[in-house]
C-alpha cells in the first residue's frame, strides 16, 4: 500500500535531522495557523499563490531562494564545524550523515538558492526593463515557480522521511547506482531535479520568447538594457542545456528503477558517459547563473556612476560569446578522465579563451566608473567587491584550466575554494546588489543603508576569511569532502576557515535585522517618486510598486537609456510630457493551475521515490485532468477600465510633477 515507506524511514536514532525537522515543521505550522487565524488566507491565495503577475512571481522566487540559501548555509556551518573538530577524531557527524550534508549543501545552493534568486530577479526586472506588461506566458510562469518549489520541498522532506543522496551534488555512477546507493537518497535527488528542471526549462522558453518577441515600441535589440541581454543569453542556455540534464537524470532513473544499463559497471554500461552528459549541462549552468549576475552589475555600476554603460556593444558581443563558448569547455571538469593530451589541450585552451569575454566585461565596468560621479550606495559596494573578488576567482579558474596543474589540484579544496570564489563573489554578491537595487521598486520603500553596509562588510570579510584558507589547504593536498583527517599541516587552514564562518553568521543575522528595521522604518524610507537611485532604464519610469499593468501606455523607445532620455527631456522642458490618451488594458486572469500542478507533482514525486505505484497513477491522471480543465476555460483575461488606468497613472505623474517644480534649477538629484 505504501511501497517502501515504513515508520523506519524516519531517523528516530539521529537527533540532528529530527530536531531540525521538528523545528521547521513547528515554524511552518505556526505560520499557517497565524495566517488562517488572522484571516490572511484569501489574500495570500488571490494575491500571491494564484498570481500570474511577473512581479509577484519574481518576489516569491526570491523569497524561496533566500529561505533555501539559509538552509544551505546551515549545511555549510555543519561541514566547516565537522572538519574543524574531526582532526584525529570522529567529529559529531557520522560519515553517512556528513555525506548527506555536503550533497544537500551543493544541490540546494545551486538548484534551490542560486537559481530561484537569479530567476526571481529576472522575473521581476526583465518585463519592466522591456517596457511591457508581462511575460509571454504568465500562467506558465506561475507553474514554473511552483514546480521549483516542489523540488525544494522534496529535498527538504528527505531530511526527516528517509535520507538524502550521499553522492555529492552530482550523483556520479556507479556510486549512484542501486548496487552502491540502495536507499531513497538518490531517488529524492532525481525526482526533485527532474520536476524542478521542467519548471526551469519552461522559464527559459518563456523568457526567450518574451525578450525576442515582446518589447516596447522602438526597442530594437541594441536598445535593450544589459540585464535583458544577459538574461536572454542565460535563458538561451537554459533552453539548450536543461533538456540534457533531464535526459541524463532520466537515464540514471531508468537504471535505478527498471534495471537499465546506461551507467552500470556491467552489461556494457558506460559511466563516463554520465560524466560527459552531466557536465554538458553543468558548465552552461555556471553561466546561466553568472550571466544575469553580470547584467545586474552592469545596471548597478552604470546607475551609481551616473554614466551610460561603457562599451555597450562590446558588452553584448562578450555576452553572446560566453553564451556560445560555454558549451565547448565541459571536459575541463574531468581532465583526469584520461582522454589524452590533445583533447585536454583543446578544452584547456577553450577554457582560457572564455575568460577573455569576462575580461572585456571587467574593463567595461572599470571604464564605466572612470570619470563617473560614483555614489557608494550598498548595491555599488557589492559591485566593486565583486570586481575584485571575481578577478581572483577567475585567475584561479584559469590556473585550473591548465591540464597539468589540474592534475595536481583536481578534487582538492583548491577547486572548492575556486568555485565558491566565483559563485559567491559573482552570483551571491549580484543577488545582494540586485535585491537592494530593486527592493524599493518591488515594495515602495528602500532597504536600510546602514544595516545593508553591515551585511556587506560581514559578508565580504567572512567570504575571504573562509575561502582563502581553503585555497591554502587545497594547495597542501587536502581533498574535498573529507569527513575526518589526521594530517597536521592542514589543521590551521581548516580552523581558520571555520573561524571565518563567524563573520558569515554575523552577516546572516544582520540581513534579518536589516529587513526588520527597513520594514519598521518604511515611512522614512518611502520611495514616492518611483526612481530612488536616479535610474536610467524603464523600470524606474513607473511607480514603486508598479501597478499590475506596469505601464499605462507602453513607452516609446529611441535609444539605449529610454528612461534617462525621458527624464532629461522633462527636466529640460521643465514639464512632464502631455497626458496620453488612456485606453482600457487587458490583463491575464489569476490562475491556480500552477499551484495545483505543483501539488500533484509533489504527490507524484513522493510516490515515485517510495514506489507507491497507485499514487503515481492518481497523480498522473490528476495532472491530465488539470491540463484539460485549464484548457477548457473561456475567459482568459479581464479588462482594467480606462478611468482606472488614468487614475493610477495620474498618481504616478503627480509626485514627478512636484519633483520637477521643486528642482526647477534642473539638476537631477
Partner 1 sequence: MSTVDAFMPSGRGRDPYRLGHGHREAHHLARGHGEGGPARKRVVVAYGFWIFLLSDIVMFSAFFAAHAVLQTATAGGPTGRDLFDPMSVALETACLLVSSFTCGMSAVATGARSQLWTQFFLAVTGVLGVAFLALEAHDFAGMIAIGAGPQRSAFLSSFFALVGCHGLHVTAGLLWLGTMMAQVFVKGFRPNILRRLLCFNLFWHVLDIIWIAIFTMVYLIGEGR
Question: Which residues in this chain contact partner 1 in the complex, by CB under 8 A?
Answer: 132, 136-137, 201, 204-206, 208-209, 212-221, 223, 239-240, 242-244, 246-248, 250-251, 254-255, 258-262, 264, 266-270, 273, 277, 280, 554, 557, 624, 627-628, 631-632, 634, 636
**Closest to partner 1 by CB, 407 or 624:** 624
**Which residue's C-alpha cell is 551585511?**
455
Identify whether the C-beta of residue 224 lies closer than 8 Å to the C-beta of residue 215: yes
Query: Within 13 Å and on the Cβ side, how many CA atoms surround 458?
Result: 18
Shortest Å distance, C-beta 58 to partner 1: 19
Q: Residues 538, 216: contact at Cβ < 8 Å?
A: yes
Cell of 89: 577524531
The smaller minimum CB distance to partner 1, of residues 196 and 378, is found at 196
Closest separation in Å from C-beta 176 to partner 1: 16
- Minimum CB separation from partner 1 for residue 607, in Å? 19
Cα separations in angstroms, 463 against 64, 68, 456, 505: 23, 19, 10, 11
Q: Which of 459, 305, 319, 286 has the alpha carbon at shortest distance from 386?
A: 459
Q: Which is nearer to partner 1, 17 or 284 (CB)?
A: 284
In the complex, least distance from residue 236 CB atom to partner 1, rounded to whole angstroms: 9
- Nearest CB to partner 1, comparing residues 217 and 666: 217
- The 10 Å Cβ neighbour count of residue 398 is 14
Considering only CA atoms, give the Rg of the chain: 25
Nearer to partner 1, 157 or 616 (CB): 616
Maximum distance among all alpha carbons in the chain?
81
Nearer Cβ to partner 1, position 232 or 318?
A: 232
Q: How far is CA 560 from the centre of its chain?
A: 26
Identity of the residue, 153 or 541, whose beta carbon is nearer to partner 1 in the bound complex: 541
Q: How far is the CB of 632 from partner 1 (least distance, A)?
A: 7
The minimum distance between CB 368 and partner 1, in angstroms, equals 24
With 0-12 / 13-18 / 19 or more C-beta atoms within 10 angstroms meaning exposed / middle / buried, residue 56 is: buried
Q: CB under 8 Å to 87, separation ≥6 — which residues? A: 484, 485, 486, 488, 491, 494
CB closer to partner 1 out of 115 and 293: 115
The nearer residue to partner 1, 204 or 379, going by C-beta atoms, is 204
Comparing CB distances to partner 1, the nearer of 20 and 273 is: 273
* CA distance to 465, 589, 590, 631, per residue, from 635 (Å): 57, 8, 11, 11
What is the distance between the alpha carbons of residues 410 and 480, in angstroms, rounded to a whole number?
9
Q: How far is the CB of 206 from partner 1 (least distance, A)?
A: 7
Q: Is cis: bond before 162, omega within 30 of 0? A: no
| CB 87 within 8 Å of CB 126 | no
Backbone torsions φ then ψ of 487, nearest 5 degrees: -110, 110
CA distance 136 to 547: 18
CB of 213 to partner 1, least distance (A): 4
In whole angstroms, the minimum distance from the beta carbon of 39 to partner 1 comes to 36
Name the residue nearer to partner 1 (CB basis): 7 or 632: 632
381 pairs with which residues across the strands? none
Give yes or no for a contact between 93 and 80, defined as CB atoms under 8 angstroms apart: no
Q: What are phi and psi of 526, to 5 degrees?
A: -55, 140
β-partners of residue 526 are 445
281 vs 310 by CB, closer to partner 1: 281
| Minimum distance from residue 334 beta carbon to partner 1 (Å) | 16
Q: How far apart are the first and last CA of the chain?
A: 68
Please, what is the minimum distance in Å from the beta carbon of residue 583 to partner 1? 13
Smallest separation, CB 562 to partner 1 (Å): 12
Q: Which residues contact 569 (CB under 8 A, 6 or more apart)?
A: 577
Q: How far apart are CA 69 and CA 113, in angstroms?
A: 5
Distance CA(164)–CA(254), nearest Å, equals 19
Contact of 195 with 292, CB cutoff 8 Å: no
3-class SS of residue 588: strand
When the beta carbons of 198 and 424 are compared against partner 1, the nearer one is 198
Smallest distance from the beta carbon of 266 to partner 1, in angstroms? 8
CB closer to partner 1 out of 262 and 310: 262
Question: Cis (ω within 30 of 0) for the bond into 174?
Answer: yes
Closer to partner 1 by CB, 220 or 663: give it: 220
Helix residue ranges per DSSP H, 401-422 = 403-409, 413-422
- State in angstroms the smallest separation of the CB of 253 from partner 1: 10
Q: How far is the CB of 250 from partner 1 (least distance, A)?
A: 8
User: Residue 236 or 466: which CB sits closer to partner 1?
Assistant: 236
Distance in angstroms (rounded) separating the CA atoms of residues 246 and 241: 9
371: left (phi over 0), alpha (psi -120 to 50) or beta: left
Q: How far is CA 100 from each of CA 187, 253, 416, 518, 636, rounded to the nearest angstrom?
A: 13, 19, 17, 37, 45
CB 348 within 8 A of CB 404: no
CB of 192 to partner 1, least distance (A): 19
Distance CA 179, CA 264 (A): 9
User: How many CA atoms lie within 13 Å of 260's alpha carbon, on the beta-carbon side?
Assistant: 15
Our CB check for partner 1 shows the closer of 412 and 550 to be: 550
Q: How far is the CB of 222 from partner 1 (least distance, A)?
A: 9
Amino acid at each position: 500500500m505504501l511501497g517502501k515507506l515504513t515508520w523506519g524511514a524516519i531517523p528516530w536514532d539521529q537527533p540532528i535531522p529530527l530536531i531540525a525537522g521538528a523545528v521547521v515543521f513547528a515554524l511552518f505550522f505556526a505560520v499557517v495557523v497565524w495566517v488562517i487565524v488572522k484571516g490572511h488566507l484569501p489574500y495570500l491565495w488571490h494575491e500571491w499563490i494564484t498570481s500570474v503577475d511577473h512581479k509577484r512571481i519574481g518576489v516569491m522566487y526570491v523569497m524561496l531562494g533566500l529561505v533555501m540559501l539559509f538552509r544551505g548555509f546551515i549545511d555549510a556551518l555543519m561541514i566547516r564545524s565537522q572538519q574543524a573538530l574531526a582532526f584525529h577524531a570522529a567529529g559529531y557527524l557520522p560519515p553517512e550523515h556528513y555525506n548527506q550534508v555536503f550533497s544537500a549543501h551543493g544541490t540546494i545552493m545551486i538548484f534551490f538558492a542560486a537559481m530561484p534568486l537569479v530567476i526571481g530577479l529576472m522575473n521581476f526586472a526583465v518585463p519592466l526593463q522591456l517596457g511591457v506588461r508581462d511575460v509571454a506566458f504568465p500562467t506558465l510562469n506561475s507553474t514554473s515557480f511552483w514546480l521549483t518549489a516542489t523540488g525544494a520541498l522534496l529535498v527538504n522532506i528527505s531530511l526527516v522521511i528517509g535520507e538524502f543522496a550521499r553522492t555529492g551534488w552530482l550523483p556520479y555512477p556507479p556510486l549512484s547506482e542501486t548496487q552502491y546507493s540502495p536507499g531513497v537518497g538518490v531517488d529524492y535527488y532525481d525526482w526533485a531535479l527532474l520536476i524542478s528542471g521542467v519548471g526551469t526549462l519552461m522559464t527559459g522558453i518563456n523568457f526567450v520568447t518574451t525578450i525576442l518577441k515582446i518589447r516596447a515600441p522602438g526597442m530594437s535589440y541594441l536598445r535593450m538594457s544589459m540585464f535583458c541581454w544577459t538574461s536572454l543569453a542565460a535563458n538561451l542556455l537554459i533552453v539548450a542545456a536543461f533538456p540534457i540534464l533531464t535526459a541524463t537524470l532520466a537515464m540514471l532513473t531508468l537504471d535505478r528503477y527498471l534495471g537499465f544499463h546506461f551507467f552500470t559497471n556491467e552489461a556494457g554500461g558506460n559511466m563516463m558517459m554520465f560524466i560527459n552528459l552531466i557536465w554538458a549541462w553543468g558548465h552552461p549552468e555556471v553561466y546561466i547563473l553568472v550571466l544575469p549576475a553580470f547584467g545586474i552589475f552592469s545596471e548597478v555600476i552604470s546607475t551609481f556612476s551616473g554614466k551610460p554603460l561603457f562599451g555597450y556593444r562590446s558588452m553584448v558581443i562578450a555576452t553572446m560569446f560566453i553564451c556560445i563558448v560555454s558549451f565547448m569547455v565541459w571536459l575541463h571538469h574531468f581532465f583526469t578522465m584520461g582522454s589524452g593530451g590533445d583533447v585536454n589541450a583543446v578544452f584547456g585552451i577553450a577554457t582560457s579563451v572564455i575568460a577573455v569575454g569576462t575580461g572585456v566585461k571587467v574593463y567595461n565596468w572599470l571604464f564605466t566608473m572612470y570619470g563617473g560621479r560614483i555614489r557608494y550606495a550598498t548595491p555599488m559596494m557589492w559591485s566593486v567587491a565583486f570586481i575584485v573578488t571575481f578577478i581572483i576567482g577567475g585567475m584561479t579558474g584559469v590556473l585550473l584550466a591548465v591540464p597539468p596543474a589540474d592534475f595536481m589540484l583536481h578534487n582538492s579544496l583548491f577547486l572548492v575554494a575556486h568555485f565558491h570564489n566565483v559563485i559567491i563573489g559573482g552570483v551571491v554578491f549580484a543577488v545582494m546588489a540586485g535585491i537592494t537595487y530593486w527592493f524599493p521598486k518591488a515594495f515602495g520603500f528602500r532597504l536600510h543603508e546602514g544595516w545593508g553596509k553591515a551585511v556587506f562588510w560581514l559578508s565580504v570579510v567572512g567570504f575571504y576569511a573562509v575561502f582563502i584558507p581553503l585555497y591554502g589547504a587545497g594547495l597542501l593536498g587536502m581533498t574535498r569532502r573529507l569527513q575526518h583527517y589526521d594530517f597536521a599541516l592542514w589543521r590551521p587552514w581548516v580552523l581558520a576557515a571555520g573561524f571565518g564562518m563567524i563573520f558569515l553568521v554575523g552577516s546572516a543575522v544582520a540581513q534579518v535585522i536589516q529587513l526588520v528595521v527597513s520594514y519598521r522604518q518604511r515611512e522614512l524610507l518611502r520611495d514616492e517618486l518611483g526612481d530612488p537611485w536616479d535610474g536610467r532604464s524603464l523600470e524606474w519610469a513607473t511607480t514603486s510598486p508598479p501597478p499590475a499593468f506596469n505601464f499605462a501606455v507602453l513607452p516609446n523607445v529611441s535609444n539605449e537609456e529610454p528612461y534617462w532620455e525621458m527624464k532629461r527631456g522633462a527636466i529640460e522642458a521643465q514639464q512632464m510630457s502631455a497626458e496620453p490618451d488612456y485606453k482600457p488594458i487587458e490583463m491575464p486572469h489569476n490562475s491556480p493551475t500552477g499551484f495545483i500542478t505543483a501539488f500533484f507533482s509533489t504527490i507524484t514525486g513522493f510516490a515515485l521515490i517510495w514506489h507507491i505505484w497507485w499514487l503515481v497513477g492518481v497523480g498522473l491522471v490528476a495532472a491530465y485532468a488539470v491540463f484539460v480543465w485549464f484548457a477548457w476555460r473561456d475567459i482568459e483575461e479581464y479588462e482594467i477600465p480606462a478611468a482606472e488606468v488614468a487614475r493610477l497613472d495620474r498618481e504616478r505623474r503627480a509626485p514627478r510633477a512636484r519633483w520637477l517644480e521643486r528642482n526647477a534649477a534642473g539638476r537631477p538629484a
